[in-house]
Amino acid sequence: MNIIKIEKIKKNFRNSSITSYLYILLKSNLKIKELSRNLKAYSILKKSKLFDEDYYLKRCPHLKESFISPMIYYMYYWFKEDENPSIGFDESYYLHKYPDVKKANINPLLHYILYGKVEERYPNKYEAILNSLPSKQKISIKVPSPNAKKTKWGDYHFAKSLKTSLEDMGYEVVIQPKEWYNKSDFDIDIVIVLRGLKKYFPKPQHYNIMWNISHPDIVATQEYDEYDLVFIASEKYAEKIKNKVNTSVYPLLQCTDPDVFYPKYSKEFENEILFVGNTRKVFRKIIQDILKTKHNFSVYGTGWKKFIPEKYIKKDFISNEKLFKAYSSCKILLNDHWEDMANNGFVSNRIFDGFASKAFIISDKVEGFEIFEDALVTYSNPNDLDEKIKHYLNNKTEKEEKAEKGYYIVIKNHTFKNRAEKMIEIVKKEIKLKT
């Protein structure tokens, strides 16, 4: 008898229903309830597409030598191989999402076909996001701040505004600061990582999204491929990265929250020329440049005593809840970018927030400013900065027209509501391509 005939006999024996029924009978240890359940599961499984024999054998090729059907083997020994039974069923996701199944120590696929489907549980993270109502989906926004009380962190306030917009769409949303790795996210469907200064290690049971909002120079190219989907707050850099990675990459610029930033004059925060920002031990260029002019200016931020005369420093800190008043009440708001963000086209969040407060803004130049049309004024050197400050201080109407135009551009196109809706639209489009 040749090898081909032997393999054919093995395959026929493996796939024989009689062989399978006998195995189920023997494994049930004469327990009628268990026998009935497993026979029912086997019958449903055989008709469904949730067990793909070819798929499973490719991952467990040693089973080709067995006299046990791959389906029967999976029913009883699924935990030994730690392999999914098909593309459509994610064993790891199901066990993490539904810890009662893990606790019961039952085959996750059998649980799904016997009970889970009726109970509206989902076989994988893609089905869960695509088919369940937003109100039944939970999103975690991971921020690099040490804890939720660190309100001085801009990323935390960014997360709060994104959370509100997603909740308005019907999602349940939690913010998880840098205590990222805990058991509290077992029931999370979507993770959104605000990638700035700290790296996060995605968990496979989640649908993982990176929104790279700052400091692209510290994000290794291979890190993007650890995510299901990547958004980058720069058209230029998104185009560059998408050609280097396998995951899908989309531009998604920073934005503002009009419930937090809006026009509100305050005598307390009246300043002629204002800059808000910390030094991070760097003598920021726009402050160097304005020092070369004769203009008086005000600074809010930490670390400035080392670089500038104390007369220019208002306070080390201004709360996010009062920042809109400072932006609204100055004649000119100055803005600059960290070098890596400027080089890669990341538009500063301060511009969006400033325009939402109807501030008139002068900034250094960055690729991507086209979205503000001619509302944003840029400068190239200290003399240019000096001339533009003088011009706009002496031309109030022109200055106010630019501030007004910037306000309407931002409120119409660049809010967290805009970004949240775009994000979810792209998530659903990407998942449809995978299912």
User: Which CATH number fits the domain 134-255+417-434, given the four candidates 3.40.50.720, 3.40.50.880, 3.30.70.2860, 3.40.50.2000?
Assistant: 3.40.50.2000
Q: pLDDT value at position 82?
A: 85
Read off the tokens for 213: 């909002």
Q: pLDDT value at position 38?
A: 78
For residue 138, give the H/E element and its range: strand 138-142
Q: 40-71, pLDDT tens digit by residue?
A: 888 888 888 899 989 998 999 888 777 778 88
Domain ranges of the chain: 3-123, 134-255+417-434, 267-414
For residue 332, give the H/E element and its range: strand 330-335
Q: pLDDT value at position 3?
A: 47
Q: pLDDT value at position 185?
A: 80
The reply to whether domains 134-255+417-434 and 267-414 share a CATH topology is: yes
Computed from CA positions of residues 335, 336, 341, 345, in that sequence, does the dihedral angle turn out positive or negative? positive
The residues pairing with 141 across neighbouring beta strands, listed in sequence order, are 175, 192
Rounded to whole angstroms, how far apart are CA atoms 157 and 146?
13
Rounded to whole angstroms, how far apart are CA atoms 102 and 188?
16
Q: Work out the number of other CB atoms within 10 angstroms of the CB of residue 354.
A: 32
Whether 71 contacts 20, CB under 8 Å: yes
Residue of 221, 164, 101 whose CA lies nearest to 232: 221
Q: pLDDT value at position 9?
A: 46
Residues near 7 by Cβ (< 8 Å), separated by ≥ 6?
Answer: none
Rounded to whole angstroms, how far apart are CA atoms 44 and 21?
14
Rounded to whole angstroms, how far apart are CA atoms 21 and 23?
5
Q: Which fold has domain 267-414?
A: Rossmann fold (3.40.50)
Q: Which residues of the chain have pLDDT under 70?
A: 1-26, 28-30, 146-152, 178-183
Q: pLDDT value at position 410?
A: 98
Q: 267-324, pLDDT tens digit by residue?
A: 999 999 999 999 988 999 999 999 999 999 999 999 999 999 999 999 998 988 999 9
Question: Which residue, chain included where needed, has tokens 């600059």?
Answer: 336
Residues near 90 by Cβ (< 8 Å), separated by ≥ 6?
Answer: 84, 123, 124, 125, 205
Q: Work out the number of other CB atoms within 10 angstroms of the CB of residue 228.
A: 22
The DSSP secondary structure of 344-387, one letter per residue, reads TT---HHHHHHHHTT--EEE---TTGGGGTTSSEE-SSHHHHHH
Rounded to whole angstroms, how far apart are CA atoms 99 and 188?
12
CB-count exposure of residue 241 (10 Å: 0-12, 13-18, 19+): buried
Question: Which residue, chain included where needed, has tokens 């840029």?
Answer: 378
